[in-house]
Chains A and B, each alone.
Chain A
Amino acid sequence: MKLNIEGLLVYFPYDYIYPEQYSYMLELKRTLDAKGHGVLEMPSGTGKTISLLSLIVAYQKVYPLEVTKLIYCSRTVPELEKVVEELRKLLKFYSKQTGEANNFLALALSSRKNLCIHPEVSSLRFGKEVDAKSHSLTASYVRARHRIDPSVPVCPFYEEFDAIGRQVPLPAGIYNLDDLKEFGRRKGWCPYYLARHSILHANIVVYSYHYLLDPKIADLVSKELAKKSVVVFDEAHNIDNVCIDSMSVNITRRTLDRCQSNVDTLHNAIQKIKETDAAKLKEEYRRLVEGLKEANVARETDVYMSNPVLPDEILHEAIPGSIRTAEHFVGFMKRFLEYLKSRLRVHHVVQESSPHFLKDIFDKVCIDCKPLRFCAERLRSLLRTLEIADIADFSAITLISNFATLVSTYSQGFTIIIEPFEDRTPTIANPVLHFSCMDPSIAIKPVFERFQSVIITSGTLSPLDIYPRILDFRPVTVASFTMTLARTCLCPLIVGRGNDQVALSSKFETREDFAVIRNYGNLLLDMSAIVPDGIVAFFTSYVYMENIVASWYEQGILENIQRNKLIFIETPDAAETSMALEKYQEACENGRGAILLSVARGKVSEGIDFVHHFGRAVIMFGVPYVYTQSRILKARLEYLRERFQIRENDFLTFDAMRHAAQCVGRVIRGKTDYGLMIFADKRYARADKRGKLPRWIQEHISDGSLNLTVDETVQLSKHFLRQMAQPFRQEDQLGLSLLTLEQLESEEMLQKIAQMAHQS
C-alpha cells in the first residue's frame, strides 16, 4: 500500500498496517526532517524493522541529497539476515509499483568467518583463525613477496578483486551474506573485501554494532562513511554496555606473559631486519618524524570518522623521540610491561584513577605520559614495518598498547581496579587489572557527532529519558509506542506471596530462606501443570539458580515438576546451552512440554525468541539486579552520580528492569502470539519498579494483579489460557489493530493515531 506520511510518499509492502507502525513512521519522519537523533520504543513483533526501512528508503528516494545512506546496525547474524529479507521484499514492491528497475544497492557485512570463500581458510572454525589466516594471505608485503617469489601463497580471490573488482562497482541489488558469497564465487572475487569496499557507495548497509562502536574495527571499516547517513541501532537497549565493553581492557597475568613473548619476538625481528634491511627501519623513522600529518589532514577535511582511541591532540604532533626508533620502542614496552607485572603483584585491592596511575608510573619507571599516548599508533607502524603477517599472535601486545594509549589520553571516565583474586575464590591468586570505561558516551560520541541522524530503537527502552543522559546526546524525538490489540494477548501478573502468605522476593536477606525457595518451587510446579508446551523461567544469576535448583531437588519439587514437563537448564557453556535449547524446542514441538531454566543477562534472555508454543509463559524469579558488590559497578555508579546526576538506585533499578522486561518480552513476538508474564517478586509491585517497565507491558498490569498469591495466579492463568485458545482470526483484528489503507485514512483513525503519539 502507498501511504502519505506528512507529505512523503511511502511504499509499504503489505496490504495491512498496524496503527502503531503508522505512528512510528510519523515520528521517524519528523526526526529525519529535523536532522536530529531519536529514541523510539516499540514492542517487538509489531513490524519495527519494516516501518523503519520503508520510511527511510522513501526518504532516500525523495530527498537523495539529504540522506545518502542508511546504516542499519543490529546484533546477530540471523537478525541481519532478517533485515535484508525485509528490505528485499520492500524493494521488490517498489519496482512492481513504479515499474522501474531497482537502482538501490543494499548489502550486509559480517566478519571474514561468515564471508570467506577461500576453500582452506573458510573451513577453519574460529573467527580469529580465519582472520589471521586471511590476513597472512592478503597483507600487502606478502603480496609484494609473492610478486618476486610466486611460491609464496596468496589468496587468489583477493588478487582478482584487487586487480579488477575495485574499479567495477557492485551492480545494484540486495545482497545478503549468501548472495555476496555467490557473487564472489561467480566472479572469483573476495566477498569480504568486496563488501567492505562496496559499503562506501551502497545506499543501505546492514551490519553489526561493533563496526561502528568498537574503535578498533570502526577505524578499519566505517571511517569513510558519508556524513549524511542515517544510523539505526536496532535492539539498542544494551547499547551502553556495548560501548563500555569496547573501550574497556582487562589484563591478567596470562596476557602479560604472552605480551612478554611478543616483545621478545619483536626484539628478534628487529635484530634480524637490522642486519638485512636497515634501510627499512630508517624509512620508518623518517615517516614518524613527519608525524601523523596524513591522518590529521584527513580528519580536518572530514573524510573520516574520528577514532576515540586516536585522540585529536596526538595528530598534531610527531611521535616523541623516546620511542621513535624500533629498539627504543621495544625497550620502552619492556619497561612498561615490567611495571604492569609489578602492579599485578598486589595482595589487596587497589582502585585508582588514570592520573594517579600515570603519576605512579612516572615515579617508578620514569615513563612519561606522552610516549604512552602514542603507543598504539607506534606499535601498528612497527608491525607494518617488520612485515609480521600473523597478527593474531600479537593480540596481547596490541591490547597492552591500546591500554597505554587510553589510560594516558582520558583522565576522566575511566578507572583502574587491580584485584589480586576473585571475590568468590579468595584463596586462589588470580590478579586482574581492570581498566574499565565508565562512560559509554566516549565510544559513541563520534557516531553522534558525525552522522546526521542516529535512531536508537528497541522493544524495551523504558525509561526513555535515561538513554540520552547516559549516552550524552540530545534527541529531537523521544517516543514510546504501545501495541494496539484486538485481544489482550499478554497477561503480566505480579506474584508477591506464596500460598502461606510468605512474601516472595529474591532480595539478599531472604535469599537463603527456605520458605521463599519452597514457594518459588510451588509456583513453578503449579504453572507447569497448567501451562501448555514451553515455560521459560529466569533467575537473577547462575549462583542463585544453582542454589534454588539444588534446594528444589532436596525438597522433591523437581521430581514433581518432571512429571509434568521436562527440565532444561542454561549453563555458561555456549555449546551446552544451544544443545539444551534445541532439545527444549523439540519437546515443545511434539507435545511433551518443557521448562527452560535460564538466567537474566544470559544468552537466552538476549537473543532467543520464544514464539508461540516455545514460550507460553515466562516466570521471572526475583529482580535481576546486577551483582552490586562488584567494584567496577560501584565505580561506575559513583561516576554516574557525579557526572550525570543519576542516583545509584535509579540506575540499578533501571538496569534491573530493562533486563526483566527483556526477559519477559521474549514470549510475545507478534499480535497473534500470546503468553503469560509472571513477575515473582513482591518488589515489582512498587511504583518505582513497575513504572520502569515498557509502556506496552505496564498498561496491562491492573491494580488487581499486583500482589497475587500462587493460587490466584494459577486461577488467572488458567482463565487466560482458555480465553486465548479460542479461535482468533485475522478478521477479528481488522479495523482495530490491523488496518487497510481505507481504514487508516479515515478521519477517526488518524485522530486516534495522533492521540496515541501525543500520549507518549
Chain B
Amino acid sequence: MDEEPERAKRWEGGYERTWEVLKEDEFGSLKATVEEILFQSKRKRAQESHGQVRLGMMRHLYVVIDSSRSMEDQDLRPSRLTTTLKLIEAFVVEYFDQNPISQVGIITTKNKRAEKLTDLAGNPRKHIATLKKAADSTCIGEPSLYNSLNLAMQTLKHMPGHTSREILIIFSSLTTCDPANIYELVKTLKELKIRVSVIGLSAEVRVCTVLTRETGGTYHVILDESHFKELLMFHVKPPPASASSECSLIRMGFPQHMIASLCDQDAKPSFSMSHLENSSDPGLSLGGYFCPQCHAKYTELPVECKVCGLTLVSAPHLARSFHHLFPLEPFMESPVEEHQGERFCQACQGELKDKCVFTCPSCSSVFCTECDLFIHNSLHCCPSCIHSQTPR
C-alpha cells in the first residue's frame, strides 16, 4: 500500500471539474494559480489558539462511530468505515499524547442500536486494539443518535463536575432512527453540560446542527480525507471550560517507576492491576509503577488506580498538556518582498521561497511556512527563543 493513502488514484476519485478551479493570471499562465492553491492548502493553519482562557483539561470523551449502511460508501478510500477507524486510531493516540489526564470511550451505532465498544479509560492501547477489531465488522441498518447519546450520557453524567464531558459523533448517515423525541434528550444533555460535537461525512443534517448548537459543541462536515483528519485533530485540543463548571483540586499520584534489579533476592514477579481484566498479555512482571497511596502495581501510565481511584500520571505527561494553557503566540506574517535581511529560515536553514515569511514576535527570527506549521503544531515553542535562553 502506498505510504500516503489519502491521495487516491485519479480514476478512483469522484467526478471533479479541476479546470473550473483554475484561472489564468494576467499573462495567461496557469502556473500562478496552481502555486496559489498549493500555498493555500499549506497555509491552512489550525484554529486560532484560545489565548488565556480556562480549558477543560480533564476530559471525558465518548467517540460515537456511525456504523450504518452508509459507512460502506466508497467516497473515502477504501471505504468510509476503514478510513474513519484508521483516523480515529490516530486520533486516540494524539488525544492521549496531548491530554494525558483525560479518558476516552468508544461507542458504535448501527441497525438502530448503540453498542459500547470500550468503556471510558485512560489508556490508548485497549482502544486501539478494539478499533482494529472493529474494522472487520459489517455496516448495516440505520444509526440511532438517540440511543448512542443516551448510552454515552448514562456514563458521563456520573463524572465529576470539574471535568469536561464531551461526546464526539462521527456521523455518516443522513438519517437517524430514534425511539423517542431527540429534542428532549438534547435538553437533558444541555442540563448535564455534556458538549456534543459532530463531524458529518456527507452533508449538513438539521438535527445535528441543533444538537451541537444547543450543547455548545461544533459541527463540521468533511470535504475530503485530509479535511476529515484536520477536523478530528481539532478535537484533540481541550475545549474552553464553561464558566459554570466547578473548580476543584484533584488528588493525583506521581508514582516512580521501580525496577527491581534481578540480583535483588526479594524481588518477586507480580501481576499488574490492569492485567487482571485482560489476560492476553503475560501478566507477571518485575518492575512497574506503584500507586503511592495503596501500592497497587501498574505497568503503564496514565491510569486510574483500580483500588483507591487515584489518578496516576507521570510528571512529563502533565507538563505536555501545559502548552494548551500557554500557547505559542502566532507568528507575524509578512510578504517576502518586505523582508529585509537574511534570506534563510532560522529553523531549517533553507532559502525563503514562499510568498510569505513568519516572524516570531519575541525574538524576531524569521521562519518559512513549513517550519511555522511545524513549530505551532508540534513543537509548541520557538526554537530560537529557547536557544537564546539557554546559558552558553
What range describes how many residues of A lie at the interface? 20 to 34
Q: Which of B144-198 contact A (CB under 8 A)?
A: 145, 174-178, 181-183
What residue of chain A has the Cβ atom nearest to residue B218's Cβ?
A: A727
B310 within 8 A of partner (CB): no
Q: Is the interface of A mostly helix, strand, loop or mixed?
A: helix
Q: For the complex, give the distance between the alpha carbons of A267 and B12 in Å.
A: 85
Q: For the complex, give the distance between the alpha carbons of A722 and B181 in Å.
A: 27
Tell me if A721 and B178 are in contact (CB < 8 A): no
With A590-B181, A590-B183, A727-B220 known to touch, is A532 a contact of B14 (CB < 8 Å)? no
What residue of chain B has the Cβ atom nearest to residue A528's Cβ?
A: B174
Partner of A590, one of B15, B75, B182, B223: B182
**What 1/0 flags go to B55-88 for Cβ under 8 Å of A?**
0000000000000011000010000000000000
B205 within 8 A of partner (CB): yes
What residue of chain B has the Cβ atom nearest to residue A533's Cβ?
A: B206
Tell me if B221 and A593 are in contact (CB < 8 A): no
Tell me if A532 and B174 are in contact (CB < 8 A): yes
What residue of chain B has the Cβ atom nearest to residue A592's Cβ?
A: B175
Tell me if A532 and B203 are in contact (CB < 8 A): yes
Tell me if B203 and A591 are in contact (CB < 8 A): no
Q: Which of A470-478, A711-719, A738-746 contacts B (4 or more CB under 8 A)?
A: A711-719
Partner of B15, one of A529, A591, A712, A721: A712
A589 within 8 A of partner (CB): yes
Tell me if B202 and A530 are in contact (CB < 8 A): yes
Tell me if A592 and B177 are in contact (CB < 8 A): yes
Contacts of B220 in A (CB 8 A): 725-727
Contacts of A564 in B (CB 8 A): 174-175
Tell me if A591 and B208 are in contact (CB < 8 A): yes
Q: Which of B193-246 contact A (CB under 8 A)?
A: 200, 202-209, 220-223
A565 within 8 A of partner (CB): yes
Q: For the complex, give the distance between the alpha carbons of A531 and B70 in Å.
A: 12
Q: For the complex, give the distance between the alpha carbons of A711 and B14 in Å.
A: 10
Tell me if A530 and B175 are in contact (CB < 8 A): no
A612 within 8 A of partner (CB): yes
Residue from the set B69, B177, B203 with the largest chain A CB neighbour count within 10 Å: B203
A704 within 8 A of partner (CB): yes
Tell me if A721 and B203 are in contact (CB < 8 A): yes
Tell me if A722 and B177 are in contact (CB < 8 A): no
Partner of A725, one of B14, B16, B176, B200: B200
Min distance, Cβ A399 to any Cβ of chain B, angstroms: 48
A724 within 8 A of partner (CB): yes
What residue of chain A has the Cβ atom nearest to residue B206's Cβ?
A: A613
A723 within 8 A of partner (CB): yes
What residue of chain B has the Cβ atom nearest to residue A674's Cβ?
A: B204
B10 within 8 A of partner (CB): no
Min distance, Cβ B303 to any Cβ of chain A, angstroms: 38
A588 within 8 A of partner (CB): yes
Contacts of B387 in A (CB 8 A): none
B133 within 8 A of partner (CB): no
B9 within 8 A of partner (CB): no
Tell me if B223 and A726 are in contact (CB < 8 A): yes
With A591-B145, A593-B174, A725-B221 known to touch, is A718 a contact of B75 (CB < 8 Å)? yes
Partner of A722, one of B16, B70, B202: B202
Partner of A530, one of B17, B203, B223: B203
With A593-B175, A722-B221 known to touch, is A532 a contact of B17 (CB < 8 Å)? no
Q: For the complex, give the distance between the alpha carbons of A529 and B175 in Å.
A: 9
Q: For the complex, give the distance between the alpha carbons of A591 and B20 in Å.
A: 34
Contacts of A716 in B (CB 8 A): 15
Contacts of B175 in A (CB 8 A): 564-565, 591-593
Min distance, Cβ A568 to any Cβ of chain B, angstroms: 15
Min distance, Cβ A697 to any Cβ of chain B, angstroms: 19
Q: Which of A151-198 contact B (CB under 8 A)?
A: none
Contacts of B174 in A (CB 8 A): 529-533, 564, 593
Tell me if A719 and B206 are in contact (CB < 8 A): no
Q: Which of A477-527 contact B (CB under 8 A)?
A: none
Min distance, Cβ B97 to any Cβ of chain A, angstroms: 27
Tell me if A588 and B206 are in contact (CB < 8 A): yes
Tell me if A591 and B202 are in contact (CB < 8 A): no
Min distance, Cβ B326 to any Cβ of chain A, angstroms: 27
Tell me if B176 and A591 are in contact (CB < 8 A): yes
Contacts of A715 in B (CB 8 A): 14-15
Q: For the complex, give the distance between the alpha carbons of A530 and B175 in Å.
A: 10
Residue from the set B69, B175, B207 with the largest chain A CB neighbour count within 10 Å: B175
Q: For the complex, give the distance between the alpha carbons of A718 and B224 in Å.
A: 11
What residue of chain A has the Cβ atom nearest to residue B207's Cβ?
A: A591
Contacts of B183 in A (CB 8 A): 590
Tell me if A718 and B202 are in contact (CB < 8 A): yes
Partner of A591, one of B17, B75, B182: B182
Q: For the complex, give the distance between the alpha carbons of A588 and B209 in Å.
A: 12
Q: Which of A582-632 contact B (CB under 8 A)?
A: 588-593, 612-613, 616
What residue of chain A has the Cβ atom nearest to residue B183's Cβ?
A: A590
Q: For the complex, give the distance between the alpha carbons of A592 and B177 in Å.
A: 6
Min distance, Cβ A746 to any Cβ of chain B, angstroms: 25
What residue of chain B has the Cβ atom nearest to residue A593's Cβ?
A: B175
What residue of chain A has the Cβ atom nearest to residue B14's Cβ?
A: A715
Partner of B17, one of A565, A592, A704: A704
Partner of A718, one of B14, B200, B209: B14
What residue of chain B has the Cβ atom nearest to residue A719's Cβ?
A: B14
Contacts of A530 in B (CB 8 A): 174, 202-203
Min distance, Cβ B112 to any Cβ of chain A, angstroms: 12
With A530-B174, A704-B17, A711-B15 known to touch, is A725 a contact of B204 (CB < 8 Å)? yes
Min distance, Cβ B201 to any Cβ of chain A, angstroms: 9
Min distance, Cβ B44 to any Cβ of chain A, angstroms: 12
Min distance, Cβ B171 to any Cβ of chain A, angstroms: 10
Contacts of A718 in B (CB 8 A): 14, 75, 202-203
Q: For the complex, give the distance between the alpha carbons of A592 and B173 in Å.
A: 10
Q: For the complex, give the distance between the alpha carbons of A563 and B69 in Å.
A: 10
Contacts of B222 in A (CB 8 A): 722
Min distance, Cβ B69 to any Cβ of chain A, angstroms: 8
Q: For the complex, give the distance between the alpha carbons of A563 and B173 in Å.
A: 12
Contacts of B145 in A (CB 8 A): 591
What residue of chain B has the Cβ atom nearest to residue A530's Cβ?
A: B202
Tell me if B182 and A531 are in contact (CB < 8 A): no
Contacts of B14 in A (CB 8 A): 715, 718-719
Tell me if B205 and A532 are in contact (CB < 8 A): yes
Q: Which of A512-556 contact B (CB under 8 A)?
A: 529-533
Tell me if A531 and B203 are in contact (CB < 8 A): yes
Contacts of B223 in A (CB 8 A): 722-723, 726
Q: For the complex, give the distance between the alpha carbons of A613 and B178 in Å.
A: 18
Tell me if B17 and A589 are in contact (CB < 8 A): no
Residue from the set B20, B174, B200, B205 with the largest chain A CB neighbour count within 10 Å: B174
What residue of chain A has the Cβ atom nearest to residue B208's Cβ?
A: A591
Contacts of A724 in B (CB 8 A): 203-204
Q: Which of A353-389 contact B (CB under 8 A)?
A: none
Tell me if A612 and B203 are in contact (CB < 8 A): no
Q: For the complex, give the distance between the alpha carbons of A593 and B176 in Å.
A: 8
Q: For the complex, give the distance between the alpha carbons of A588 and B357 in Å.
A: 48
What residue of chain A has the Cβ atom nearest to residue B221's Cβ?
A: A725
Contacts of A590 in B (CB 8 A): 176, 178, 181-183, 207
Contacts of A721 in B (CB 8 A): 202-204
Q: For the complex, give the distance between the alpha carbons of A285 and B175 in Å.
A: 74
Report, nearest first, the 6 A-B pairs whose CB atoms are least far apart.
A591-B207, A725-B221, A613-B206, A715-B15, A725-B204, A721-B203
What are 11 A-B pairs with beta-carbon distances under 8 A? A530-B174, A530-B202, A531-B203, A532-B202, A532-B206, A590-B176, A590-B183, A721-B204, A724-B203, A725-B203, A726-B223
Q: Which B residues are within 8 Å of any A CB, using their own CB?
A: 14-17, 20, 69-70, 75, 145, 174-178, 181-183, 200, 202-209, 220-223
Apart from A530-B174, A722-B221, what are 14 other A-B pairs with CB-CB below 8 Å? A530-B202, A532-B206, A533-B174, A533-B205, A533-B206, A564-B174, A590-B178, A593-B174, A612-B206, A704-B17, A715-B15, A719-B16, A722-B202, A726-B220
Q: Which A residues are within 8 Å of any B CB, using their own CB?
A: 529-533, 563-565, 588-593, 612-613, 616, 704, 711-712, 715-716, 718-719, 721-727
